[in-house]
Amino acid sequence: MKWLATLLCVAAFGQPAKLRYVNPLSIEDTRSIADPTAMKFGGKYYLFLSGGVLWTSDDLVHWKHEPVSLPPPRRATAPHAFAYQGNVYLTGNDVGLYRAKEPKGPYEYVGDFKDEKGNKILLFDTMIFVDDDERVYCYYSGRHANGIYGVELDGKDLTKFAGAPKRLWTFEKAHVWERYGDHNEGTELSWIEAPWMTKRKGTYYLQYSAPGTEWKTYAVGVYTGKKPLGPFVYAQRNPILVHKNGLINGTGHHSVVEGPDGKLWAFYTILYRNWSVFDRRVGMDPVGFDARGNMYVDGPSETPQYGPGAAARPWLDNDSGSIAISVNRYTWSASSQRPGRDAMYAFDNNVRTWWEPEDDDAQPSLVLDLGCRNPSDANQEFDVDSVRLMFDNAPRPGAKDLRMEGHGRWYGDSARAAVGAYRYKVELSLDNKVFQTVADQTANSRANNVTFDEFAPRQARYVRLTVTGRPKGGPMGVLEFTVFGKSHETNRRSE
């Protein structure tokens, strides 16, 4: 009941009593992460990711990294894990099966996958589903536009196909969202991948992603069937998760897990940037089914949401009521800024632009005025309750030790000590003279580029961010500094 203790502690300090989160998720010890597989095992939750392998949680919101050592071939890109007959199995792209007694390991390598003829086969974006009758099915991507394949596995040796695989469906250009490109302009191209199976009330929901993780249009769709290998029918409600032209986009390669509230939750990849540096993060939102049984994900959410257990029907309304009140504010000041990296980029709701102070600015700071745009209008104050910081440490040319890899890079204990962490404080003020600290991370040691700080709602007009420490080896940048809260409607004043 660690999550309950956390809630009680938060309530005691005057912060929101209900567990909340915001996308992208704040996950410790990460730079670029993607391709989540979430699983429940032994009363805890495990999140397997490209870019670090494994994190654990009690509540699906707070995640702790757990080092995992794999024997040769030591690969777990796009990792997928599942439990079967008392063991945990782990696989990844172009690798066979690892096996352990628990998700943390230690793992042994069972062997490569073999087709029905006994030939070694390399699988991409593998998902393995154990049905209610303990029969085991493997789903994987044919890569490019070749579609999704499925096959039953030998229950006595899960590396062996029990028969010939079936291609369950392929790219269909009539499904506009499956087409290549940031605007789905590539009518003849796609990358169909990342299958995930969910069974509900006798229906098999086989989900997948397209048109590719490098596109803003990356999304999740679903086919349904009455048998684990089909035939499958394209669902009426597609795609079931896609961007809404906001901050969060490129939402694909997901997994679904039953949360501590007994409800289903989806974890999915979020694309940050697809040029110069390929950078991704992870989001979470509730899964729902409409009156006709159509599956969907209530997301991607971009403001503080309730965590599992707070809302009775999170798939209908999981918003906590706090809105982004800092986006596109034009009155601000900064201690410094590099040419082309203006401070205003920290508030434009776009992770592809950012504020970058001068190199000699030891403790760079921003002050944001939340008041009205027109000085002749009455000034507006707000009740601020949280902030999200999305830091950047994309390396400059030549800084190979910090270069982000295509499928993410995890900074472990030794690397974290060498690289360091962002340290900062957030202060609020009514008059831009007297400030009170509401978030103090000046002693932070978590190497994490996304943070979410909550505090008791406080009336304010000005918000100040001061960065007191930064990672080594690269420039400091703030992709987004988002202030959340509500308008303070009972005490508007004019100057």
Residue 386 has a pLDDT of 98
Residue 490 has a pLDDT of 54
Which CATH superfamily includes the segment(s) 2-306? Glycosyl hydrolase domain; family 43 (2.115.10.20)
Q: Which pTM value belongs to this model? A: 0.92
Q: What is the mean pLDDT of each run of 10 residues along the chain (495 residues)?
A: 40 62 89 92 95 93 92 92 97 96 96 97 98 98 97 98 98 97 96 98 98 96 98 97 95 97 97 73 97 97 96 95 88 93 94 91 94 69 95 58 39 49 94 96 88 96 95 81 89 41
b/e string for 301-311 if b means 16 or more Cβ within 10 A?
A: bbbbbbbbbbb
Residue 488 has a pLDDT of 87
Q: What single-letter amino acid sits at 443?
A: A
Domain residue ranges of the chain, discontinuous segments joined by +: 2-306, 323-487
Q: Are 138 and 131 in contact (CB under 8 A)?
A: no
Residue 16 has a pLDDT of 54
b/e string for 400-433 if b means 16 or more Cβ within 10 A?
A: eebebeebbbbbeeeebeebbbbbbbbbbbbeee
CA 306 from chain center: how many Å?
Answer: 16
Residues paired with residue 141 on neighbouring β-strands, in sequence order: 124, 148
Residue 395 has a pLDDT of 52
Q: Which fold has domain 323-487?
A: Jelly Rolls (2.60.120)
Residue 379 has a pLDDT of 76
Q: Which of 14, 74, 22 is nearest to 319 (CA)?
A: 22
Residue 283 has a pLDDT of 97
Alpha carbon dihedral 138, 143, 144, 146, in 10-degree steps, equals: -50
Please identify which residue in the block is written with the tokens 């049984």.
Answer: 293
